[in-house]
Amino acid sequence: MRIEARLRDSARRFGTKTALIAGDARLTYAELDMLSDRLATSLARGGVKPGDRVLMVLDNGHQAVISFFGIWKAGAVPCPLYPSIKAEKLSGILTSTGASVIITQTRQRMTVDAAVSMSAARPLVIVAQADAGNDLGRALRFEDLIGSEVPAASRTFENSEALALLLHTSGSTGQPKGVMLTHANVEAACGAIVAYLGNTADDIVLSVLPLSFGYGITQVVTMVMTGGTLVLEKSFAFPRKILERLAEVKATGFPLVPPMAALITGIKDLEPGFLPHLRTITSAAAAMPPAIAERLQQLFPDTRLFLMYGQTECLRATYLPPEEVSRRPLSVGRAIPGTRAFVIDEDGRPAPAGTIGELVIEGPHVMAGYWGNALTSVRALSPVAGGRRLHTGDLFRTDADGFLYFISRRDDIIKTRGEKVSPQEVERALYALPGIREAAVGGIDDPIFGQVIRAYVVLEDGVTLTEREIIRHCAQLLEDYMVPKSVEFRDALPRTATGKIRLGADETNTATQGNVA
């Protein structure tokens, strides 16, 4: 089944039930269905064809959820991007995807315009949250498109193997890779998540996860699949406010990442069991330190904690049942229902328990490939019965009972705040600052964010730069999660025999578990 068909089905079954709460917006299933129909009609009238790519540069809000379903109903492919994306990267993605539309909001309009000016593409720009009297130039106002009383033309698409999402994730080269997920991929992954979490129409899930992130998108889809209610918040900047909101809406589910868990468990005056309605907490995107998991369980004694592992390339791969968290605190569990996840040795054979090898994932949730990159797709994927096999590039082992344990990753990607950061991308920003002769970047273990980024720099002779100046420079070029948190000045950086800068284990450290989910 295609994803938009799930919304139509829930609108028939739960028409007057609240589907989405986001800020001041509150939409029933019938309203969400109607508004996304109107957007789909507007997109089609604007020339959007089935298979076209639509970039989304939006904060968490009702506009983003309407956009997902409107794009799907138009037969097109949403490409959600991090709201603080910089113009240069956005321009590159616009060019590589050949997107025909960008949906954004007033706050990001300057970035979008700058990106379009750098590209030969001339997409239709749709702006949300713009005042009715504002002159948008050639752009269209989002609220006008969904506010039309003209009956929406309904089109039905049956091909579940058509692309549903194009999610961009940085590879080891720093160039964003477009992960192609079909409707069947998303349906399989989200169906499995619903099964092991036991989601129902009675669930109320509060999410602060960005909707540019696979983990965030699954919250939208699983709630629509079951007829539950999604409460969207824009950020976790004020943890106490989010905890109050969880109590206010009587949330039954709370997806988080380990840095959020660390902040919650660091609040000293919380009483155990203070959120009696909270049925599940899920954690993905990075390792959950056992000490924090233990404190979460003490704080929420009647809440089931699910620790999970995944990659953008399959959305979700494994989960550890709550009853195993205390017994196997370092494990990421077993494969999600209807799939396989196992370790292979260097010859491609299943590795014995305790032997370190590469994790491979098989099933209907594995991506169709990387956009415009056939060679990388062939290296990562191989066909198997019932789907594809994904070579994750991550090193794992299993225990005698078949539970999986993350060891390390083969590349040098840094995980911070649930996001993948390419050192090369940060280094390029550093080298753009006059006065820096050599630069390298590493991930430093951090109890809150999992890892934080540290820059190591060598200055040109006679140049004086401060840590603050370097960080401020990076903030002008990079998304906020990519900006170094500290700078270490060196007289020289270590090099390999071939002349490449290479930080050793004494300069930097890496996390011991986890991956993108």
- Give per-residue pLDDT as tens, 332-364: 999 999 999 999 999 999 999 999 899 999 999
Sheet containing 163-170: order of strands = 163-170, 176-182, 369-370
Per-residue pLDDT band at 507 (split at 50, 70, 90): low
E strand residue ranges, 350-499? 357-363, 369-370, 381-384, 387-398, 404-409, 414-416, 419-421, 436-446, 450-459, 486-489
pLDDT of residue 460: 85
Residue 492 confidence (pLDDT) above 90: no
By CB atoms closer than 10 A (0-12, 13-18, 19+), residue 13 is: exposed
Where does 135-281 have alpha helices with state H?
Answer: 142-147, 183-197, 214-226, 239-249, 258-265
**For the residues of 8-66, what is the DSSP string, one character each?**
HHHHHHSTTSEEEEETTEEEEHHHHHHHHHHHHHHHHHTT--TT-EEEEE--SSHHHHH
Q: What domains does the chain contain, in order, with CATH numbers?
A: 3-19+27-148 (3.40.50.980), 198-302 (3.40.50.980), 414-489 (3.30.300.30)
pLDDT of residue 514: 33
* Residue that wins the pLDDT comparison between 196 and 393: 196
* Residue that wins the pLDDT comparison between 448 and 181: 181
Average pLDDT, the chain: 91
pLDDT of residue 404: 97
Distance of alpha carbon 93 from alpha carbon 373, whole angstroms = 13
* CA neighbours closer than 13 Å in the CB half-sphere of residue 394: 27
Which among 508, 436, 60 is positioned nearest to 255, based on CA atoms?
60
pLDDT of residue 515: 34
Residue 508 confidence (pLDDT) above 60: no
Q: Most distant CA pair in the chain: distance in Å?
A: 71
Give the β-pairing of 381-384 and 387-398. antiparallel
124 DSSP β-pair partners: 101
pLDDT of residue 100: 98
pTM: 0.84
At 241 the three-state DSSP class reads: helix
Q: Which pLDDT tens digit goes with each residue over 118-142? A: 999 999 999 999 998 788 999 999 9
Q: Which pLDDT tens digit goes with each residue over 353-402? A: 999 899 999 999 999 999 999 999 999 999 998 889 999 998 899 999 99
Sheet containing 436-446: order of strands = 436-446, 450-459, 486-489
Average pLDDT of 295-323? 96
Which amino acid is located at 263 in the chain? L
Question: Hunting for tokens 């050639």 — which residue is that?
Answer: 138
Q: Which pLDDT tens digit goes with each residue over 419-463? A: 878 787 888 899 889 999 888 899 998 888 889 999 999 998 899
Distance of alpha carbon 196 from alpha carbon 192, whole angstroms = 6
pLDDT of residue 174: 57
pLDDT of residue 349: 95
Q: In the structure encoding, which two tokens stand for residue 158, read together?
A: 């049956």
pLDDT of residue 38: 95
Q: Which phi and psi angles does 77 have, rounded to 5°?
A: -120, 110
Distance of alpha carbon 9 from alpha carbon 401, whole angstroms = 40
Q: Which pLDDT tens digit goes with each residue over 73-111? A: 999 999 999 999 999 999 999 999 999 999 999 999 999
Distance of alpha carbon 81 from alpha carbon 419, whole angstroms = 12
Which amino acid is located at 505 in the chain? A
